[in-house]
Structure 1
Amino acid sequence: MNLAQLHYTSAPPGPDGSGFRFTAVSPGVPASLLREAEQLIGYEPPRDAPPRPSADELGSFPQALSLNVLSDGSRLLARSVYTGADYSGRWGNFHAHAIHLPQPADADRPAGGQLPITAWGSPQWAADSPPAGAPVPPLASVPAPGPLDLGALAAFVAARGRWLAGFFADVRRLAEEPAAPQLVLVERDSEAVAWWIMLACSVLPHRRGQWLTFTTYTRRPQLARQQIIGVVPEDGLGLAGQEQRYRVYDAARAAAPAPAPDPWAQTAARIWQAQRQELFAHVRRLPSGPPGASSGGPYEAGPLAALALAAGVGLDSSGRAAAADWAAGHRDALDDVQLHALARALARPAGDRGPEEAAASGRLLSALAGWAPPAVSEPLVELAVAGAVRSGGAAPPAGLLGEPARLRLAAELEPELRAALTDPAREPADRVALLRVSAQLGVDTEALLPDVAGQLARALIRDPESAYGEAVGAALAELPRLRELVLDRLDGLAAGDPAAGARLFAVTPLRPTGAGALPHLRMCAQAPGAAAGDRMKVLTRLVECSGVSLEEDPLVLRTAMRLVWGAEPPTAGEAWLALSALGERAHREAGTWESLARAAVSAPAGDGDAEALAVELLRHGSAGLPAPLRASLLLLELARNLRIREIGPGWVRQAMALGTAGPSPTAREHAYAAVAAHLLAEDRPESELRALIESNDAELLAAYRREARQPRVADRLRLDPRYAAECFATWSSQPQAGPVWQEARTDLLDGVLRPVVRSLPAPQLAALEEALARLGGRWAEDFRGWQRPGAFGRLRDRFGGSGRRGAKGGTGNPPLRGAGGPIAPGDAGGSGDDGRRP
């Protein structure tokens, strides 16, 4: 290596009148380098420096050792010192000795040799005056390190220990972020600044320490461009408030800055405080990053923390977690002695142990299981066992404890273990893990199993995704008695909530295997794959896969039906098949009798299966059904009897009475439609028509109006004069019966009958009048008046809602039609209304 030297100092004024110039330079140094270097190696004495210091005072002046990156990427290492007053007495006289390092600073390429900061105090630096003779020869290497007082350095580290973690975190930012704030080190002695910089370079990878720019002293920090800047206290004032540009470390004036949560920086600080700085060299030989990767970056805390713990350096919880995680993935990188020391350090009592550390220790223990000797992993096993008992967590793998350790731990932890197992506040997974610990330690917990099994079964039914984890799965596999009890409890819970049982098997690998019957669980396990297709066939398959008969466990049928249909009832046809196939007794004992009834009453109006099902259910007795449900079935039975014409008198009033008993809307709609259809039939009884008219029942009359608008009624009105005549007489009668009937009969006459009559040809119209004449009374005359424009409107005004009987009513009319008197056109005043509804 050929490192050019440059000497710069004051001298008698030269041709340009300047007293400062390069006085000795190695051959071949270009003028451009000299011009750039001249801007970097100047020296301005402190503000309080005496104008003409003595020789003793000169030794107390700060020294400026600096490293700068030049415009071409090369570096300049320089030492500038004060030598006394200049010729004018106004400016300090100084001498600068610089070394040019031509190799560019590059973090991605190896850089050998000493770190530049180690040149502090090197005897190879020139004296405080230029050498005799010029030019000076180049150097072969960076000046050799100067003497280092290790005791003084240790005292310095101890005095500034609170600042170290934050300082190392900021140094890391300098190496990673081009725009990171500059670090300002406020020290009276520039040697202390050099120690700060040595600490920074020691924790960085060697090649990054080669290009960390610095100066141990500057009078004007605002103009300095180095990454680390040393200043005396009076020059550091006013910088602390500029956090975006500076991070100021002034141990004499300010508290330590709050460090970033950086486990690497925290670990590095602990290592220096423990005076184990040789670990920084050792860690560079260890792999970092995830297993199988060559490197995870130079600032991964894991390898450094693992070496520190193995060397006896105490770390906080985040550092211990990083060490355990790294060692779990790189167990081959440490020898048995280091692994044992690491395990013992992790197992040592610590008040700040957090969940991340506990989890990382568990991962390390799993990595060591079956690989490291028991003596290596045993401390971690004891830690995991004690942690699982006292604060919850996963149990360690079985078989890692020697017999002496097992007996000692069993005696020590048995009281706490039993107390934790009987604590209902502990989570089910924790209590299950404790059962595994009990089995490993040989502690008898048979009497406690039922309570733990019940709690776990309830958790699995309630939230299977959260409750069924790795620990629960392992415990159910390792502890047959626990599995038997849990499945038994689950079978009972699934009988009460089959949907939750089916979800349990859909989202977890648990299966109802074993010697127990478990009929409800077996059906729940089959339900996710059997839901599609013919639901009656699915029901049959589920009952068969339960493994028991309905006589042995009648509730199997209820579970199967709830798995197939959920909260909704089956269709009426499906319920009819289920009743026919399995019988009335099976459904009553299973508690599904009401479900069948709800299937009937929830069917759409007009569903014939619903009528047949209702009749069958009533035939077997409906005393145990709720009153509204029984009324619904009776309405469906009434509809069926009307349809097959097996009905006695009073069925209109019967329908209305049942309609007020709270039946389902569909059952009432079904029955009212049947009643209306029968009231519009050819052989409708007059007594039932009178009951309809006098009922003033809005829903029943609405059903009657809907039925009258069916195409079959219009066809019959058009083709059957006698039927049309009877409808006219009925719909013209009883104007005093109530407002609901008034509205209904007006709608029927105007909206149903009038369009038909207007479309009749003359022969059919004459036939209709003849049929009205045969009814007796004045119906034919009333009909002719009703046809005239405005006539019906006048009649409606006179009779609508008045309750008045016609004075000219004929006695030859049928009783129903004559009850309100005939409607005579001459009885009403002219209103100009043509009879159409608005």
Structure 2
Amino acid sequence: MKHFQQLYYTSCEHGLSGFSGFQFNAVSPGVTAGTRQAVEALAGYEPPRSLAESDTPELLERCPVNLCYRPYDRDGRRATALCVRYVGRDSARRFGNYFAHALHSEDFREAAGGMLGIELWNSPVWTRTVAPATEIPALAAPAPGPLDVRAVAEFLRGHPHAARLPELLAAVFAALTEHGSVVVVDRDTERIARWFAAVSYLLPPPLARGLSFATYVFRPGRSRLHLIGTVPEAQLAFGTDDEAAYTVFDFSRGVFPEVPVSDLVRLLTRIGVESVRLVWSWTADYTRGGEETPDDWHAPVAAAACAGGITLTRADAHAVIDWLAGADHLGALGATVADDIHRKHRDLDDGRLAMLSSAAKAGGDIGVHREIEGKLHAARMRAYIRAAGNAAPPVPIDDPTTRERATALWERLAAEARTPRERTRLLLWAVGARLSLTREAVERATLGLAHALLASSTDDLLDEVSELLRVLPAMRESLAAAVEEVLKGRSGQEQVLSHFPANLLREADLADRPLVLEHHLRARAERMRSDTVPIMFKILKIRGRTSPDEELVSALWHPSRTWSHEEAAWIARLLPAAEPVDEAVGAWFRRALGQDIQEEESLEACLRLCGLLADPGRFAWLPADVGERVRVALDLNRVLREAVEATDLLAAFEVPPKLRWSATLALTSLCLVPAMLWLPADIARLRGRLRELSDRDLDRYLSDVYRRVTGGEGIGDVLLSHVATAATLSRRSLRTHAQLELVTAIRSHPAAHWRLADLARLEAAVRPHQPGLADHYAEDAEARRSSPQRRPRRVWPFGRHTEPAAADPPGARASAPSAPDAASPDTSRKKSSDKSRKEKGQ
């Protein structure tokens, strides 16, 4: 028989340590050092401040009692329980002494006779008196205290916050199965012990035995037990990192956390502590072993409760049904559970009834299985046809008699069906259940459905019709025949397929019906814009033509749309280059080329289109003015690649107004300035021509020069030529204050930051054009040579020394602006030009 080892821990004169103070006063034989360490860690006690100097029996009885239980494995086999009481003074008359009486067993459950740790509350086994010797005997099963289910039930009935028990139990479940601790605050430990007992009784017994707790801890933030009790006077301060790990229920103040409550917790608290132990005894027949979480325990507990006559909620019943499918350990008991649920819950949907039917069959109760199946059969078919929310898909009917009856029911419902959905689902049911329908019945049903689909919207049953077409090939032929009948029989029905899902019919289904096929393709083009070009050429193939006319193009793209550059290029490649095209094609190319271009990607697409249309055969498709514009755009693009000097490039972009269109404008705005900056500049020529740039392009030119001159790039000849050009611009060449600031900043930066050799090159470059500015550079270079640490801070506004032709007005701004946030676009033309310039050493 298992016994408990006993340990006394207190401040005393005689004990195991050999000197006075806190120590083990006495222990049972065989107590290990590890057990002593564990008890010592749990035995600490700090009284409430108001009771710290208690030294009379009356005051000491008011001190909180800590009944502590600590299991060391999941099922609580090896565990320690101890009762810690405050005893006031020690032998040296100092306050703060306490007495801890501990019981330890390697098989706590057997040694305690199945008693839970909380049931040792106020047990007569506990003592607070030191032993005269250091060895005390082991203890047989201790007697329980007065705390039992009746006492707990009476306590709950009288407590004003008893309704919080579900949240408390849910929090303890979370602490056991996830992490963290639950703190219970009440005015004394008698009440706290009853809260702990209520939780322990309601928990599944394996989890209750694994629940660690202490009925009193003055500083809960220092404990890591699952359940921690304390009184209002305690210190509830938690560290920032630990605060989330503690869930506090303050029953003394009525302050509670928000805790989600599971269906299992609701069921257990509805059963109540007085009845729950009986339910736990029944539950053992339903568990597989290894259940831990509330979800694991819910179904077995609900099944046991139902067998015991306890009413289940819908959530409880659903949990049992869902669990039955995998509960193969139940054997014949599974059929009993299915019968109980079926008879007590008449509002179950067909899906769960089917699960009960399967469970009854698996459990060997064929009678219950047939009873449930009989209820299900007609309901399944009607629910499926109506597309009810609980409709189950059809399953093959193997029994000949059952299949014959189902076929008769199907034919009766087919005569009653009115909507396309009902007709569709009837046919799906027939296929899924493998009913024995005649060919005439199938043809009649499919043709009727095809006409119904053409007369109404099919968007809401697209998936069902698609599935029917997949599983019933005869439906495709009926649908194609119905469409052709409508198109040929009534004029003005050309758009019959525009509201009809194009993917319900495949091109292969319509190979012998060209009229239907063309309208099918037109309808598909409306739904799949990205496929419009190949669809157009499929229609041309059906018609036996090579070029579209205005009607076809307008029908596919509509007048409000136009070809994108990519679509136009695609069409240009597919049209036979050596053959003439309809006049409409040239008009649509005009619209495509005339689109506004704001981005380099669009410009690239437009230029690719221009390149295609420049082919002699295709060039003939274009109106004369469009062809000229294409030529100009390609010429400008070629100049961007081939020009060798910035001024020549700028001159090439002087396009007559009548030839300025979207591509040439985009080439100017997106590519001209970046390309200029990759070419060397003839300073004298470029200074004069920069005024021909628009304000926007001149701003960009100056911004890019400034960005490069300050961006840490090497000062090559190309960059030097543009810096010199910008720095020597006269005031009358600039039209805005921002341009003035940029030129001032460009002038100032080299003097302070360039290497002296580069500064000397700049001085030489600007001297023929602005001698005063060159003198400034020479002076600053000399100053830097004489004082290497000194950097000129001055900037040069426009004035008589730097620009004899035009003096700045008084008060001109003299500080350099911050670098403008402008970046030249990285087009393919710029990249290729950049590469070629670098290869030439520019």
Of structures 1 and 2, the larger Rg is shown by: 1
